């Protein structure tokens, strides 16, 4: 075998990575360049990192960067020792198989995961021989979207070390004059400000950011590990013609339409505000604040309505009224009084909002319905499809519905689909200190309607992206791309017809606007077309079902492959050089049965009892129940992985580990792959740092990070637990109910198995692929959707979750998929009223921040402790977000010994 294939999975999956840091003594980044070229709002960014292994032995070198969520990766290459290794984009299913095979051989794999609001993380690594160099080069593309009158290009710089030759070059060239250009973001402040050079000449602008090594260490959010932050380039262009810019090249065109010299259309807006119990606290307060600001911004000729809902609907007034002072004051008083309570009847509330708008036709105005919710419908109609269908009928394409999903407990896909079905968009509002601003910002985007029923026609054009838009708002932009039939510009006539203040307006002005630019070989506009087409097909797919859905998916896949875009339908497979170590031996763990490997069929995974990933002969020292495995993969990626025997105390492995410092992370240093326990009203386990586990070449035992949330929005606490220990999740002595879970430290999964014991004679063992019920002497296995009950214990397996309830206790075990591997994540949905113990039953953390510099100190009860800021993924939520937390020891976080939470057996 000449090259081992290792896959970089770049799905739009929500995974997260640990921030692992290179050891500076081992290798060095001698050059780090980011080069971004924006041509007519289409940005192509290349990140290249040159690194050298300064050691006398081969070393695994890692490339780890963050890119905007909206972007598609289109190229990845590595240059090693005169050879080029190119990534190849493949259909996800095909790549998945190679990926799973690679992982099962113990090879590393890169992945992309979401971080924060706007970024995704990309990571891969390769083994580099002594004193050799490697260059990583990643290219991604995105169409900048105009919002509130500007375009923003976000560049995240985190090279992981101060770098001597660090450069960011941004070059923007537009067809129209650039109005203004600003540089913002965390990196443009203070000490770094003078490292920025900005040049602006008519249609072109350049931004250079060349910080010195010293500057890279001293800026805000920088440290010994160098910079970590954003550079955000903000600009807009002048628009001479209201028809906008049409650029053509090589048979394709792109039309940017954003007229601003039109009169605003008065609007009828109804705000439908969730006041269910889950909005409790800060969310409710931020909503009130935002609402009051928004009311202040309504124009006097706007009409508005306001309803709040939980399981019932509350009107401020039953009909829409004009936004005059008197009404606004009254509405603000109503808004200040909104209090959370009850459950969530989205169906009833949205239908009522639609009824109010339908009952209020007004000549020359536009109607808008805005829903703000933080939860799933759980009162009134709860069937999502029925709600969507009811809402579609009620709205009947007459006005758009915008859905704002507050926080991460919302079924965002449901909101997104409902918005798209009604000509709107859904937006996530992040639970953060600026949530009120986010709400207001969203409102501002739709505050000034200028046109309705915008129809863009292109005679002589074909294969067009979306051409009909129900509303156009000031500050936004409509972009249409397509092909020009026979590349005949003479016969190509664009035209826009729309309604402005009940008057029909037509825009056409072809001569001055259509301009062929670029050479015939310039495929840039074609790529814009492909990018937009793929994005829109992916949205369309969401709305369809059956064969239509499959067709759209197929089309999107074909285009993704053709243009080499890494989309949710494709993956990139990276070939790596063959390494010096080709032996793959297996050294089973002493004194333990084979780990119960999941055999999720169809993933190319190795099945069967007794499967171990390949292990090389020279395992680490073994003592007691702890054993160390060393995986050696084909391509010279040396993988060492250690774990403890089930039930062993975590402290033991720390003692046995030759390099215990990995267990305490200095400031800014992320953890090794680990897991999190999080709490949200109740506790749930979540996994952090989805690093492809078995690839660290250091003796890092896998640890799991647990997270304890707080009742208010202060940062949660987190702590690590090392090894594949068996944890007490929930023990309920009176009811004879106990739930234990085994962490999986062999691959990167969370919980591998969870067992629910009921009395002494009934147990339900949940694995990702099957549920085993043991009742007395009999045993039955169930796979797929399952329903089981014995009257007091009910287990329902749905698609990606297992619902376990007994009396007033309800646990939902989520099945998450990461890199093709499934793992379990328990969430306590309903807390039993009497005494329980276990990790799911922990109380919310209460602490006080007693010191911030030089290090942060927290006080819990009467003890003070130094903590470091770290992050974790909250897997208690279906689409898990990465969140910040204060990292500390388990003992301190739990306020008792971790041993109290370890079960001796499942
Ligand atoms: C960016 O690309 C341009 C054009 O290829 C090149 O001249 C420039 O040196 C590059 N900048 C960096 C920082 O690599
Ligand atoms: C639209 O926005 C532009 C600035 O971006 C502003 O000059 C214009 O007045 C706005 N139009 C309306 C109707 O508010
Ligand atoms: C539209 O695009 C498809 C795929 O790129 C191509 O096969 C087809 O010929 C195009 N249609 C027209 C009318 O050009
Ligand atoms: C766009 O709107 C026009 C006129 O309103 C209509 O004739 C056309 O069918 C619409 N096109 C699409 C793709 O919906
Ligand atoms: C359109 O442009 C062509 C050549 O660029 C010119 O000959 C013609 O007069 C222009 N027509 C108008 C209406 O400006
Ligand atoms: C959260 O609550 C704790 C104690 O109840 C308090 O000390 C802290 O200031 C609160 N934090 C926020 C952000 O409200």
Residue 369's CB is within 10 A of a number of other CB atoms, namely: 27
- Residue with CA nearest ligand 2 atom 6: 260
**DSSP secondary structure code for residue 881 in this structure:** P
- Element containing residue 97 per DSSP (H, E): helix 92-104
Task: Please enumerate in sequence order all residues whose Cβ is within 8 A of that of 110, keeping only pairs 6 or more positions apart, or say none.
Answer: 6, 7, 8, 9, 10, 122, 123, 124, 125, 574, 692
Q: What is 484-532 written as a DSSP string? A: EGGG-STT-EEEEEEEETTEEEEE--HHHHEEE-S-TT--HHHHHHHHH
Ligand 2, pocket-test mutation among 474, 476, 501, most atoms within 8 A of CB = 474
Instruction: Report pLDDT for 903.
Output: 87
Q: What is the pLDDT of residues 670-681, one digit of tens each?
A: 222 222 222 222
Instruction: Report pLDDT for 519.
Output: 57
Ligand 4, pocket-test mutation among 468, 470, 482, 543, most atoms within 8 A of CB = 468
Nearest ligand, CA of residue 455?
Answer: 4
- Classify 598 as helix, strand or coil: coil
Q: Which of 273-277, 611-615, 768-772 has the highest mean pLDDT?
A: 273-277
Burial of 529 (0-12, 13-18, 19+ CB in 10 A): buried
Q: Which of 110-124, 709-723, 885-899 has the highest mean pLDDT?
A: 885-899
Task: Please enumerate in sequence order all residues whose Cβ is within 8 A of that of 488, keeping only pairs 6 or more positions apart, or say none.
Answer: 460
Q: Which whole number is the average pLDDT over 83-102?
A: 75
| Share of the chain residues as helix, strand and coil, in percent rounded to the nearest 5 | 20, 40, 40
**Fold of domain 4-238+559-598:** Immunoglobulin-like (2.60.40)
**Confidence check: pLDDT of 33 > 60:** yes
Ligand 3, pocket-test mutation among 483, 527, 556, most atoms within 8 A of CB = 483
Stronger pLDDT, 404 or 12, i.e. the higher one: 404
What global pTM score does this model have? 0.65
Instruction: Report pLDDT for 609.
Output: 24
- Classify 441 as helix, strand or coil: helix
Query: CA dist 588 to 617, 619, 650, Å?
Result: 10, 10, 21
What gap in Å lies between CA 213 and CA 161, rounded to an integer? 9
Instruction: Report pLDDT for 167.
Output: 96
Tell me, in angstroms, the distance from the centre of ligand 2 to residue 153's CA: 22
Q: Which of 35-39, 591-595, 630-634, 826-830 has the highest mean pLDDT?
A: 35-39
User: Which alpha helices (DSSP H) does 143-281 contain, by range?
Assistant: 213-218
**Confidence check: pLDDT of 281 > 60:** yes
Task: Please enumerate in sequence order all residues whose Cβ is within 8 A of that of 577, keeping only pairs 6 or more positions apart, or say none.
Answer: 3, 80, 81, 83, 85, 126, 127, 635, 636
Strands 478-484 and 426-429 come out as unpaired
Nearest of 658, 685, 661 to residue 674 by alpha carbon: 685
- Residue with CA nearest ligand 4 atom 7: 455
Instruction: Report pLDDT for 792.
Output: 76
| Among the ranges given (68-72, 544-548, 628-632), the one the predictor scored with the smallest mean pLDDT | 628-632
Ligand 2 pocket check for 148: Cβ under 6 Å: no
- Residue with CA nearest ligand 6 atom 13: 714
Phi and psi of 664, rounded to 5°?
-125, 125
Ligand 3 pocket check for 483: Cβ under 6 Å: yes
Instruction: Report pLDDT for 14.
Output: 27
- Residue with CA nearest ligand 3 atom 2: 463
Average pLDDT of the chain is 77
Burial of 890 (0-12, 13-18, 19+ CB in 10 A): buried
Ligand 3 pocket check for 462: Cβ under 6 Å: yes
- Residue with CA nearest ligand 6 atom 12: 714
Domain boundaries, the chain: 4-238+559-598, 245-261+451-537, 266-447, 627-696, 703-901
Which ligand 6 atom is at minimum distance from the Cα of 712?
1
Instruction: Report pLDDT for 112.
Output: 57
Nearest ligand, CA of residue 239?
Answer: 2
**Confidence check: pLDDT of 389 > 70:** yes
Q: Which whole number is the average pLDDT over 485-504?
A: 88
The domain 266-447 is placed in CATH, from the list 3.40.109.10, 3.30.390.10, 3.40.50.410, 3.30.450.20, at 3.40.50.410
Q: Which whole number is the average pLDDT over 262-274?
A: 95
Q: Which whole number is the average pLDDT over 571-596?
A: 39
Instruction: Report pLDDT for 10.
Output: 37
Q: CB of 134 within 8 A of CB of 198?
A: no
Tell me, in angstroms, the distance from the centre of ligand 3 to residue 462's CA: 8
């Amino acid at each position: 075998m000449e090259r081992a294939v290792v896959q970089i999975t770049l799905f739009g999956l929500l995974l997260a990575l640990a921030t692992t840091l290179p050891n500076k003594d081992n290798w060095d980044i001698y050059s780090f360049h980011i080069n971004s070229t924006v041509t007519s709002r289409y940005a192509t960014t290349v990140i290249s990192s040159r690194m050298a292994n300064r050691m006398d032995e081969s070393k695994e070198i890692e490339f780890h960067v963050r890119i905007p969520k909206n972007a598609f990766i289109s190229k990845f290459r590595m240059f090693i020792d005169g050879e080029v290794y190119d990534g190849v984009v493949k259909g996800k299913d095909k790549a998945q198989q190679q990926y799973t095979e690679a992982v099962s051989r113990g090879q590393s794999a890169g992945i992309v995961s979401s971080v924060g609001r706007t970024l995704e993380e990309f990571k891969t690594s390769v083994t580099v021989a002594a004193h050799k160099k490697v260059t990583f080069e990643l290219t991604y593309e995105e169409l900048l979207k105009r919002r509130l009158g500007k375009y923003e290009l976000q560049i995240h710089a985190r090279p992981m070390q101060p770098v001597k030759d660090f450069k960011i070059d941004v070059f923007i060239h537009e067809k129209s004059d650039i109005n203004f250009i600003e540089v913002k973001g965390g990196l443009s402040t203070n000490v770094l400000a003078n490292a920025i050079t900005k040049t602006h000449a008519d249609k072109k602008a350049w931004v250079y950011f060349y910080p010195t090594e010293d500057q890279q260490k001293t800026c805000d959010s920088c440290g010994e590990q160098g910079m970590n932050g954003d550079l955000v380039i903000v600009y807009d262009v002048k628009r001479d013609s209201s028809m906008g810019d049409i650029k053509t090249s090589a048979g394709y065109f792109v039309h940017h339409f954003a007229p601003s010299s039109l009169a605003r259309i008065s609007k009828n807006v109804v705000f439908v505000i969730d006041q269910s119990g889950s909005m409790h606290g800060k969310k409710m307060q931020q909503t009130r604040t935002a609402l009051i600001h928004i009311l202040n911004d309504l124009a006097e000729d706007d009409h508005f309505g306001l309803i709040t809902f939980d399981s019932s609907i509350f009107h401020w007034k039953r009909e829409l009224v004009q936004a005059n002072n008197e009404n606004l004051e009254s509405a603000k008083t109503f808004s200040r009084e909104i209090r959370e309570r009850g459950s969530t009847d989205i169906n009833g509330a949205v239908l009522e909002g639609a009824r109010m708008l339908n009952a209020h036709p007004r000549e020359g105005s536009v109607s808008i319905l805005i829903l703000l919710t933080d939860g799933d419908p759980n009162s009134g109609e709860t069937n999502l499809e029925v709600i969507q269908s009811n809402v579609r009928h009620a709205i009947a394409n007459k006005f758009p519905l915008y859905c704002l999903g507050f926080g991460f407990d919302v079924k965002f896909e449901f909101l997104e689909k409902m918005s798209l079905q009604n000509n709107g968009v859904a937006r996530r509002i992040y639970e953060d200190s600026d949530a009120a601003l986010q709400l207001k910002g969203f409102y501002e985007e739709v505050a000034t309607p200028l046109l309705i029923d915008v129809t863009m026609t292109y005679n002589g054009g074909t294969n067009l992206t979306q051409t009909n838009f129900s509303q156009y708002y000031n500050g936004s932009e409509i972009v249409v791309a397509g092909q020009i039939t026979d590349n005949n510009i003479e016969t190509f006539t664009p035209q826009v017809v729309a309604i402005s203040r009940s008057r029909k307006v037509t825009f056409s002005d072809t001569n001055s606007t259509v301009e062929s630019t670029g050479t015939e070989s310039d495929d840039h506009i074609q790529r814009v077309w492909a990018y937009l087409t793929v994005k829109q097909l992916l949205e369309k797919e969401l709305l369809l079902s059956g064969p239509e859905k499959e067709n759209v998916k197929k089309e999107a896949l074909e285009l993704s492959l053709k243009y080499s875009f890494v989309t949710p339908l494709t993956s990139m497979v990276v070939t790596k050089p063959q390494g010096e170590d080709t032996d793959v031996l297996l050294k089973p763990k002493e004194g333990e049965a084979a780990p119960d490997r999941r055999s999720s069929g169809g993933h190319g995974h190795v099945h069967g009892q007794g499967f171990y990933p390949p292990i090389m002969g020279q395992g680490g020292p073994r003592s007691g129940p702890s054993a160390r495995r060393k995986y050696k993969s084909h391509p010279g990626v040396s993988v060492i992985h250690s774990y403890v025997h089930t039930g062993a105390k975590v402290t033991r492995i720390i003692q046995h580990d030759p390099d215990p410092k990995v267990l305490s992370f200095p400031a800014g240093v992320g953890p090794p792959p680990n897991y999190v326990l999080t709490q949200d009203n109740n506790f749930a386990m979540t996994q952090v740092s989805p690093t492809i586990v078995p690839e660290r070449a250091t003796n890092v035992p896998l640890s799991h990070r647990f997270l304890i949330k707080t009742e208010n929005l202060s940062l949660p606490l987190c702590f690590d637990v090392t090894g594949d220990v068996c944890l007490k999740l929930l023990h309920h002595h009176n009811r004879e109910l106990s739930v234990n879970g085994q962490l999986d430290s062999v691959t990167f999964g969370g919980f591998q198995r969870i067992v629910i014991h009921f009395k002494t004679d009934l147990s339900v063992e949940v694995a990702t692929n099957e549920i085993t019920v043991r009742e007395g002497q009999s045993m039955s296995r169930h796979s797929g959707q399952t329903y089981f009950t014995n009257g007091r214990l009910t287990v329902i397996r749905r698609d990606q979750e297992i619902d376990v309830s007994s009396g007033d206790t309800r646990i939902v075990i989520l099945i998450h998929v990461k890199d093709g591997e499934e793992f379990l994540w328990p969430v306590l949905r309903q807390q039993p009223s009497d005494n329980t113990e276990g990790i799911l039953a922990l109380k919310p953390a209460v602490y006080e921040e007693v010191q911030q510099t030089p290090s942060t100190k927290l006080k819990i009860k009467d003890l003070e402790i130094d903590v470091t800021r770290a992050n974790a993924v909250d897997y208690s939520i279906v689409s898990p977000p990465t969140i910040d937390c204060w990292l500390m020891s388990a003992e301190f976080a739990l306020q008792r010994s971790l041993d109290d939470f370890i079960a001796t057996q499942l």
